[in-house]
Amino acid sequence: MERLFYFLYRYRAFFTFLLLEVFCAWLIIENNQYQGAKFFNSSNSFVAGLNSFSQDVREYFLLRETNRMLAEENAALRNTLDQRTQVLNSTGITHPVDSSIIKRFSYVSAKVVNNSVHRFTNFLTIDKGSNEGLESGMAVINGAGIVGKIKTVSKHYSVVTSVLNKDVMISALLKSSGYYGTIQWDGYNPDIVQFKFIPRHVKPVVGDTIVTSGYNAVFPPGLMIGIIADVHLPDEALFYDLNVKLSQDFRRLAYVEVVKSNLKVEQDSLEQTIEVLNR
């Protein structure tokens, strides 16, 4: 026993080293999972407060660009609204069929206080949290397209897993032909994501639009993701290699909207019932 203690004491540096490294590795693994540590991330109010100060400074240099983007989005929304009203007027429908379908998604606007695009797993922090009714798993979008999914929330801030994260997969649709596949980022270029699982017999061409499919009730269907930049079909491969140019410039993200899906619980519980029946 004495010799054991002597041994431990003699190599105490090495054992401390081992202990700390194992603890760090545990933190990394724990934090990689969908919902990691709740407190030690940038939604913690002290860290987020500092970050939002730093973002406030940075924002002055991007004001012109942000203004232009918001004005463009406003114009586009006004156009859609106008067309909608005209269609409604001409067909004579004045009240919608089911109000709960119409109110299926509601939107909360939020400011980005922290953002990164240069790592393999990128996150952003926004300045709305559980006080505004946000929960983990909600979709985050803005005028130009999808942004990501909420990872954790605190009272006033939330951390969002960006689309530019190697571990995120999003169900997407080829708008022209309706075939669906998966969007995933390979870690190289923050402008380009990969569109996977499109079978050989489909004929995608450069310039085709990719939108969200709405199959998982997180993202509303038909949201812009990007356009195909480059089509490649290796011999003997089952699926195409498609590079998609994102419509969103993640480096200049300033304002985003969080999508609250009001029917998500209903859709999920219905799908779960089927899974239970199939078992």
Partner 1 sequence: MSRIGILQIISFFIYLFYQVLILKNIVLFHSAFCFLYIAYLLLLPVETNPLFLMFMGFVMGFAVDVFYDSLGLHALACVFVMYVRNYWLNLLTPQGGYDTSAVPSLSMNGMQWFVVYAIPIVFLHHAILFFTEAGGFGLFWFTMLKIFVSTLFTVLAILIAQFLFPYRRRL
Residues that bind partner 1 (CB under 8 A): 12-14, 16-17, 20-21, 23-28, 30-31, 36-37, 40-42, 44, 47, 50-51, 54, 58, 116, 118-121, 123, 125, 159, 166, 186-190
Is 6 or 215 the residue whose CB approaches partner 1 more closely? 6
Is 24 or 206 the residue whose CB approaches partner 1 more closely? 24
Joined together, the tokens standing for residue 212 give 């969200």
Instruction: Please name the helix (run of DSSP H) or strand (run of DSSP E) that holds residue 43, with its range, or none.
Output: none
The beta strands (E) that lie in 47-144 are given as: 105-115, 121-126, 139-142
Is 156 or 175 the residue whose CB approaches partner 1 more closely? 156
Q: How far is the CB of 26 from partner 1 (least distance, A)?
A: 7
Joined together, the tokens standing for residue 250 give 């993640």
Is 51 or 213 the residue whose CB approaches partner 1 more closely? 51
By C-alpha distance, which of 155, 241, 153, 163 is closest to 197? 241
How far apart (Å, rounded) are the C-alpha atoms in residues 159 and 274? 32
Q: How far is the CB of 105 from partner 1 (least distance, A)?
A: 27
Is 122 or 261 the residue whose CB approaches partner 1 more closely? 122
Q: How far is the CB of 157 from partner 1 (least distance, A)?
A: 12
Is 30 or 82 the residue whose CB approaches partner 1 more closely? 30
Q: How far is the CB of 84 from partner 1 (least distance, A)?
A: 40
How far apart (Å, rounded) are the C-alpha atoms in residues 279 and 270? 15
Q: How far is the CB of 231 from partner 1 (least distance, A)?
A: 23
Pairing type for strands 241-246 and 121-126 reads unpaired
What is the distance between the terminal CA atoms of the chain, rounded to a whole angstrom? 55
Q: How far is the CB of 253 from partner 1 (least distance, A)?
A: 14
Is 159 or 259 the residue whose CB approaches partner 1 more closely? 159
By C-alpha distance, which of 133, 131, 128, 135 is closest to 112? 128
Q: How far is the CB of 42 from partner 1 (least distance, A)?
A: 5
In three-state secondary structure terms, 267 is: helix
What does the DSSP assignment read for 220-256? PTT-EEEEEEEEE--TT-SB-EEEEEESS-GGG--EE
How far apart (Å, rounded) are the C-alpha atoms in residues 196 and 115? 26
